[in-house]
Structure 1
Amino acid sequence: MELNMRAGHQGTGPGAVTPDGCAVELYSRLPVGAEPDIVAAAVPVGARILELGCGVGRMTHPLLERGFSVTAVDESQEMLDRVRGARTILSSIEELDLGEAFDVVMLASFLVHAGDVEVRRALLRTCVRHLAPDGCVLIQREGEEWHTNLPRERVDPSGFTVRIVSAESTGDGANSVYAEYEFPDATWTQTFLSRPLTKDQFEAALAEVGLKVDEYLTQDRTWVRAGQAV
C-alpha cells in the first residue's frame, strides 16, 4: 500500500514509516524519560486522558500503570498495533471528533510546532473540542533555541546517539529539520517541518482557539498546562 507522506516529511531506516516520517521500530526503542511523571503530577488522580499522537504507546503504557484511563489516538495503524491496554483510535488528530469530553487532552511530541499554521490551529481546536469544562490541555513545546547551534548530538545512556543535524528555513517561518538516530545495529533518519514559537507566539496561538496558559510545568517551559480562557 502506498504511504501518503505529509508534505515536507520523510523518514528512512528499517520497518514501517508513518506519514510524518516517524519510524515505528525506532520509536519502539526510544525511552520515555520523565514525561509520565510530569503528566501525573499535573492532573487529577485517575483522570480520563485523551492522548493525541500516541505513537507506539511510550507514554500511554506508563500512564496506564499510574492508574489513568487513556484513549490513544494516532494516524498510523502500525503505531497503534504496539499499544497495549488502552482504547485506541485510528485517526488524524485534525479530523478527530469523538463527541466526548476528557479531563485531560495531551498534545505531546512537539506537535504544536507543526510547520503549517492551519494544521497547528486544527490540532489545538481538536484539543478544545474534546476538553471537559474544568479540564486541562497538556502541551509539550520545543526547548528554547532548539533550532540553533546545530549540529548537536546526545548519546543516550542506553547506547544510541541522537543528532539534530540541521534546521533550514523554508522561507515562511518554518524550518525543515533533519535528525538522525544511530543505534549499534541500525540507523534511522527523519525530516520534518517545524515552526519555532517564542513564549509570546505560543501563548498567542493558544489564545486563537480560546486557551490560556495555566502553568509552565518544567523550568525550561517545555511542558505546559493550559485551560479554557474565561
Structure 2
Amino acid sequence: MGSRTRPGYAGTGPGAITPDGCAVDLYARLPAGDEPDIVAAAVPAGARILELGCGVGRVTHPLLERGFVVTAVDESQEMLDHVRGARTVCSPIESLDLGEDFDAVMLASLLVHAGDEEVRRGLLKTCVRHLADGGCVLIQREGERRFSAPGEGKPHPLGFTQRVLSSQPLGGGVYSVHVQYEFPDATWTQTYVRRELTQEQFEQALGEVGLRVERYLTEDRTWVRAVPAPAGQAARP
C-alpha cells in the first residue's frame, strides 16, 4: 500500500492501511454513532444517496436498514470489501464521475478539512457534479468543537483510548496530526493533514463551488445541509 499513500498521510498497526492512513481493521470495530439518524432526518424517505468515503460501511449499513438506496464510494478496496447490500465504487473521490444524479450526496469523516485546498475543491466539486435537481449535500465538519491537544487521551465506551500524539503546524492553518488508537489487544496510529476552517471560511469554500448552507443540522454545527446557491450568487469575500 505504500506506493498508493497520499503525501503527508500514513498509518501503522494490524491489517490493511488505506492511502490516507486509515486502518481497515480499526474502522471495522467502530460503531456508527448518531450519523445515520442525522442523515435520515435531513433527506426524504427512500432517497438515493451517494456516500463519498464510506469506509467499511459504518454509516452505509444503518442507512440501508432505514430504506435508503446507497451507492458507497471509497478509494480503498479493502474498505469496500466490508460493505454489504450497497452498490460499491472504488475510486478517489476527487476524480469520481458516475454520470448519475442523486437525491443526496454525503461527504462525512471531516474530509472537507483536507490540507490541500485543491483536494478540498475537488471533493466539493464531485458533490455538486452528482447532485440531482432539488437535492442536497450533507457535510460533516469540525464545527465549534476544540481540536484535541497533543497528549490528551479520550477513553471510548468501546474500551479504547484515542490520543493525539502530536499536531505540527505547517503554516496557513494547516497541521500534520499524529493520532493513536489504543485497544487492549491492538494499537493503530494515523498521520494526516488537516486544515482549520472557521465557519466563515467553510461557507466561503462552499460558495467557491456554487453551494450554500441551507441549515446546520446539529447544535455544534458539525453537520451541514448544503444546497446549490442561486445563479449568480458570489461567494463571500
Say whether 1:173 aligns with 2:183. no
Say whether 1:161 aligns with 2:164. no
Partner of 1:52: 52
Distance across 2 between alignment mates of 1:211 and 1:17:
33
Instruction: Report deviation, 1:2.
Output: 4.9
Distance across 1 between alignment mates of 2:178 and 2:2:
23
> Secondary structure of the equivalent of 2:179?
strand
Counting only pairs closer than 5 Å after superposition, residues 130-169 of structure 1 correspond to structure 2 as 130-144=130-144, 146-147=146-147, 149-169=149-169
Distance across 2 between alignment mates of 1:9 and 1:202:
23
Partner of 1:7: 7
Instruction: Report deviation, 1:59.
Output: 0.4
Contact 2:162 2:180 in 1 (8 A): yes
Q: Deviations over 1:29-84 (max 9, x none)?
A: 01111110011011100100000000000000000000000000000000000000
Counting only pairs closer than 5 Å after superposition, residues 37-186 of structure 1 correspond to structure 2 as 37-144=37-144, 146-147=146-147, 149-186=149-186
Deviates more, 1:6-15 or 1:156-165: 156-165
Q: TM-score, normalised by structure 2?
A: 0.94
Query: Which amino acid is the alignment partner of residue 160 of structure 1?
Result: F
Percent of counterpart pairs with the same letter?
Answer: 70
Instruction: Report deviation, 1:171.
Output: 1.8
Contact 1:147 1:196 in 2 (8 A): no
Q: TM-score, normalised by structure 1?
A: 0.97
> Secondary structure of the equivalent of 1:123?
helix
Contact 2:150 2:163 in 1 (8 A): no
> Secondary structure of the equivalent of 1:170?
strand
Over 3 Å counting, the alpha-carbon distance change for 1:21 and 1:222 in structure 2 is same
Q: Which runs of 5+ in 2 are unaligned?
A: 231-237
